[in-house]
């Protein structure tokens, strides 16, 4: 930023020197008309925007390119996992800089966030591929709903199984609370042949 401030100061100084060399067209020697000042300030503003537009993304959208480490930090996905996703085709192959480093754009960042959230929600790799439309085509809203509904039913079934398991463990554990013998009822119960 100090280089930019120094450059700005130099431009301002050059602008004032150029203005001082020009003959004044105003009534007095010390003042110019508003019309004579306006075009120069507009051109200065345009020049300033063109030179420093890379410092702001407000008007001029730049294509972001981030390294794999930054991508990992932004998404919480490990670098090895990102490479694995590229290998199995969930992520498109990264572009490479001349140095050989992988770089990713915003679309790839969004895609990795999507994959990561799907995995947190328990979607299978096949489901994620279908949702991304990797193997055939981009899914319609109805197809996405069907995949999601199927996954929801699977989760409900797993929850029912876990509740059943919890009840069994509770029953086994309750036998241990009233037992002072050396033989543990939990071990006995788990080793019974059904």
**99 and 36 share one domain:** no
Contacts of 76 (CB under 8 A, 6+ apart): 116
Query: How many structural domains does the chain have?
Result: 3
| Residue 49, domain member (yes or no) | yes
Which is nearest to 101 in space by CA: 136, 70, 61?
70
pTM of the model: 0.57
Higher pLDDT: 189 or 18? It is 189
CB atoms within 10 A of CB 21: 7
Average pLDDT over residues 16-28: 56
Is the pLDDT reported for residue 162 higher than 60? Answer: yes
**132 and 157 share one domain:** no
What is the extent of the structural domain holding 185? 149-190
Measured CA to CA, the distance from residue 71 to residue 128 in angstroms comes to: 20
Mean pLDDT of the chain: 76
**48 and 76 share one domain:** no
Q: What is the pLDDT of residue 14?
A: 61
């Amino acid at each position: 930023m100090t280089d930019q401030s120094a450059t700005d100061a130099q431009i301002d100084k050059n602008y004032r020197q150029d203005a001082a060399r020009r003959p004044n067209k105003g009534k007095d020697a010390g003042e110019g008309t508003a019309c004579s000042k306006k075009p120069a300030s507009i051109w200065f503003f345009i020049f300033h925007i063109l030179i420093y537009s890379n410092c702001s993304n407000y008007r001029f959208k730049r294509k972001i390119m981030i390294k794999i480490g930054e991508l990992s930090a932004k998404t919480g996905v490990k670098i090895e996992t990102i490479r694995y996703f590229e290998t199995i085709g969930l992520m498109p192959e990264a572009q490479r800089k001349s140095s050989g480093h992988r770089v990713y754009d915003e679309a790839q960042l969004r895609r990795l966030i999507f994959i990561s959230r799907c995995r947190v929600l328990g979607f299978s790799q096949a489901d994620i591929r279908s949702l991304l439309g990797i193997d055939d085509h981009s899914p319609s809203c109805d197809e996405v709903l069907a995949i999601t509904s199927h996954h929801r039913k699977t989760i409900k079934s797993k929850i029912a199984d876990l509740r059943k398991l919890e009840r069994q463990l509770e029953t086994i554990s309750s036998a241990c609370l009233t037992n002072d013998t050396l033989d543990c009822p939990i071990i006995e119960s788990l080793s019974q042949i059904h």
